Structure 1
Amino acid sequence: MANHIRTTHVGSLPRTPELLEANNKRAEGAISEEQYFEILQSSVDEVVKRQVDLGIDIVNEGEYGHITSGKIDYGAWWNYSFSRLGGLTMTDEDRWANQEKVRSTPGNIQLTSFSDRRDRERFRAAYEDPESGIFTGRAAVGNPKFTGPITYIGQEEVETDAKLLRNAVDKFGRSDAFIAALSPGSAARLKNEYYDTDEEIVQACADALSNEYKAIADAGFTVQLDAPDLAEAWDQINPEPTLSDFQDWLKIRVDAINSALEGIPREQSRLHVCWGSWHGPHTTDIPFEDIIDVVLEANVGGISFEASSPRHGHEWRVWQDRKLPENFLLYPGVISHNTNAVEHPRLVADRIIKFAEQVGPEHVVASTDCGLGGRLHEQIAWAKLESLVEGAKIASAELF
């Protein structure tokens, strides 16, 4: 058992200027593959060393293999899968400009377009105001659609992710590390022209992505399944569904997660759930208490979740009087991606202690609400991680 509160984060970390430049050159064919991967390995080495130097216990490769071309990028956690799944056809449809209004009916949940989400509907003027701080106008992002059977074609890429991280952790002496991968339900959030049912799409994504999860686990790392769809998809269903219908929709996704993780040791997996990374009002977020029982049906070794944002900071209460399986870990977000203010270490410690009081300190690993890369300025992101470590030290001194 650990003798202190360990620390980690959700995955995405700020990309270095050198890596962003190399990503853009590679897209233009202006750099050789050998030169590119030399820069990529150097960048991963740098980001792992920085985590180790800060005192982060469970590190990763910053998701540097999930390609971004700019400092602000909300979609790399999802977009990376477009080159790793077969059965997709790219379209010229801009994800952010799509105004399609898809309407769900009782017993038939369908996701509407991003611009038609209920929070955006309620705060339309704010979302479209470039001076509001939540402006969603940004560079066009093309969306693929399902046009054939979904297969996994990313073996070389995931093996590269694992090799980059292995080289770095071996170099800097950190044995505990993870790699984030898209969950089946998140992968399934595309237009479909091939499958007959939602359940078929989700299961096909699970069958394909199981190859990615296995490759990560076989390399000796923990697999983090990024599944924001389990919470934030609620806002993308218009009109608001019944809770029963949504829970049934979630169960399909949790069953797919369990199917995809078969054969992987439970302790080598963790599930990340959040309500989305955009800096908006979030008034239509579903309460954690309405989904927690379904989420906990996932056969994973722990759950990472948003717990510091203004809409979800009070939800530590869902863990009151809840018995956790032996060795099951909670990764509460005690640092928020939702604000530029850097949390005081004492506040971080108080948040950690609150969770430790509910489930026991042996079950708590201090983390972030979501990925910090692509959402916050580099200086702020690293300052927040420093505060995370300092807060964990304060909490450890009081809990152990």
Structure 2
Amino acid sequence: MTKINVTHVGSLPRTQKVVDFIFARERGESYDQADFDAAMREAVDETVAKQVAAGVDIVSDGETSKISYATYVKDRYTGFSGNSPRNAPADLKLFPSFLKRLADSGGTPTYARPMCTGDVASKGQQELGKDIANLKAAMTKHGADRGFMNAASPGVISLFLQNDHYPTREAYLAALADAMREEYETIVAAGLDLQLDCPDLALSRHMLFNDLSDAEFVKIAKSHVEALNHALENVPQDRVRVHICWGNYEGPHVCDIDMAKVFPVLMKTKSRYVLFETSNPRHGHEWTVFRDRKAEIPDEKVLVPGVVDTTTNFVEHPELVAQRLERFVPLVGADRVIAGSDCGFGTFAGYGAVDPEIAYAKLKALREGADLAAARG
């Protein structure tokens, strides 16, 4: 029996203590740095312990110290100030009563999204170093053999922190790729796998590029992958994970671009592991893209389908998890399939549709479902 490993996309629910510290920093309020660091260290330790208890094989720090998976770069890199324009996804604009309900319920997080107004450059890797140390210490303590750390891709940074400095989008992407290179290499040098979050390869179609055709957008997505691969020039491909998604929110998603159209772009990323959504009702059918285009999946790719949803508090039955995995195992073999989640459970600090205890129940269901699928061969 070939074991099917279990992982997830990265972010996990943060404690209120962590959230309070993160938003104190976000608002520019005074706080004690030593207390901040201690809170992050303790939270990462607890987060890793819970992942191990749930049966997760490849753990993360839950993105504990970050305000979000993309905009954290404003705290670690120069060149950002002011505020970027906010643009609701196109599908939500089609249903204004639902968009209003989200806004009125506090379901739309408020946090800084500055523009790029100067040269982008690293402020140093001190904060990253703390994140790495916290994760590795927790892994050692709780017996986790393998871990990964998330980092923003150049494309997703350009989506949320828009350009008001470089002469073209291409120049901005190139600058971001050069700036992020050290972060990527530092994570891998520490013995962790690197996960690049790339919702720009799908989500940005209905957020920033509504005026383009699908074919024109795919050209944009290709340029994002070129910038990403340039930044990964010195990183071994077998240490890289790439996550693509259409937005981690409950909504109609009727404007999402089809997986079939972005599939070739995803396969061109310099990554061994590709993480993608297959649980939410808008994309659950698209496993057939992988079946029908099996010949286009490079031999080195490992598929990490999301087999639990991250926008609902239903806990998937392990049998359903197994059935979803069994769609992919015949395509590439059990050794090239890992059970994952659609997206993160804590995309933005302090916000999340799934109750924290239920999030870990879903990870436990992942383990049980993966074991069922493996046992059935």
Distance 2:209 2:25 in 1: 40
Q: Quick one: structure 1 residues 307 and 81, their matched pair in 2 at CA, closer, same or farther if it must change by over 3 Å?
A: same
| Residue equivalent to 2:294 | 322
User: Unaligned 5+ residue runs, structure 2?
Assistant: none
Q: How far 1:24 sits from its partner (Å)?
A: 4.9
**Which piece of structure 1 moves more, 188-197 or 162-171?**
188-197
Residues 175 and 238 (structure 1), Cα distance of their counterparts in 2 relative to 1, 3 Å cut: closer
State the match for 1:385 in structure 2: 363
CA spacing shift, 1:128–1:85, aligned 2, 3 Å: same
1:7 and 1:274 mapped to 2: Cα distance? 19
Q: For the residues of structure 2 that align with 1:263 and 1:127, how far apart are their CA atoms? A: 43
CA distance in 1, matches of 2:125, 2:209: 37
Provide the secondary structure at the position in 1 that maps to 2:72.
helix
Give how far 1:209 is off.
0.8
1: distance between equivalents of 2:144 and 2:115?
39
Q: Please point out which of 253, 261, 273 is paired with 2:244.
A: 273
After the TM superposition, which residues 35-114 of structure 1 pair with which residues of structure 2 at under 5 Å, given as runs? 35-67=35-67, 76-91=68-83, 113-114=86-87
2:81 aligned partner, one-letter code: T
Q: Which of 106, 129, 145 pairs up with 2:101?
A: 129
So what's the TM-score if we normalise by structure 2? 0.92
Q: Does 1:196 align with 2:167?
A: yes
Q: Which amino acid aligns with 2:35?
A: Q
Q: What root-mean-square deviation, in Å, do the aligned CA atoms of Structure 1 and Structure 2 show?
A: 2.0
Aligned partners of 1:7, 1:353: CA distance in 2, in Å?
A: 14
Q: Does structure 2 conserve the Cα–Cα contact (< 8 Å) formed by 1:54 and 1:386?
A: yes
Q: Which residue of structure 2 lines up, in the alignment, with residue 15 of structure 1?
A: 14
1:184-333 equivalent positions in 2, closer than 5 A: 184-189=154-159, 190-237=161-208, 239-320=210-291, 321-323=293-295, 324-333=297-306
Q: Count residues with an aligned counterpart.
A: 368
AA in 2 matched with 1:14: P
What CA distance in whole angstroms lies between the structure 2 residues aligned with 1:25 and 1:293?
42
Q: Residue 181 of structure 2 aligns to which amino acid in structure 1?
A: S
Contact 1:148/1:194, CA 8 A, preserved across alignment: yes
Paired letter, 1:86: T
Name the aligned partner's letter for residue 127 of structure 1: L
Contact preservation (8 Å) 2:18, 2:39: yes
The question of whether the paired residues in 1 share the 8 Å contact of 2:22 and 2:65 is answered with: no
Cα distance in 1 for partners of 2:49, 2:371 equals 20
Q: Bigger CA drift: 388-397 or 16-25?
A: 16-25
CA contact (8 A) 2:276 2:305 kept: yes
Q: Deviations over 1:234-255 (max 9, x none)?
A: 1124645222211111111000
* 1:203-227 deviations in Å (ceiling 9; x for gaps): 1111111111011011010110000
Distance of 1:253 and 1:14 partners within structure 2? 29
Q: What's the offset of the Cα at 1:341?
A: 1.0
Q: Deviations over 1:242-287 (max 9, x none)?
A: 2221111111100011001111111110100000012110000001
Shift of residue 379, structure 1, vs aligned partner: 1.8
Bigger CA drift: 4-13 or 38-47?
38-47
Say if 2:51 and 2:360, in contact at 8 Å, map to a contact too: no
Aligned amino acid, residue 64 of structure 1:
T
Quote the Cα distance in structure 2 between the aligned partners of 1:80 and 1:138.
18
Q: Are positions 1:119 and 2:91 aligned together? A: yes
Which amino acid in the other structure matches residue 296 of structure 1?
Answer: M
SS at the partner of 2:117?
Answer: strand
After TM superposition, the structure 1 stretch with the greater mean CA deviation from structure 2, 174-183 or 78-87, is: 78-87
Within the candidate set 293, 312, 323, 1:339 is matched to 312
1:45-91 deviation line (CA, Å, top 9, x unaligned): 11111111111000011111213xxxxxxxx1122111122111133
Matched-pair contact (CA < 8 Å) for 2:4–2:374 = yes
Q: How many Å apart are 1:310 and its aligned residue?
A: 0.4
- Shift in Å, 1:130: 5.0
Q: 1:137 to 1:334 in 2, by over 3 A?
A: closer
Question: Is 1:319–1:359's contact at 8 Å kept on the other side of the alignment?
Answer: no
Consecutive unaligned residues in structure 1, runs of 5 or more:
68-75, 99-112
Return the offset for 1:342.
1.0
TM-fit CA distance, 1:380: 1.7
Residue pair 1:88, 1:145 contacting (<8 A) in 2 also: yes
Question: Do the aligned partners of 1:26 and 1:36 also contact (CA within 8 Å) in 2?
Answer: no
Structure 1 residue 120: deviation in Å? 2.2
Amino acid in structure 2 at the alignment position of 1:12: S
**TM-score (norm: length of structure 1):** 0.87
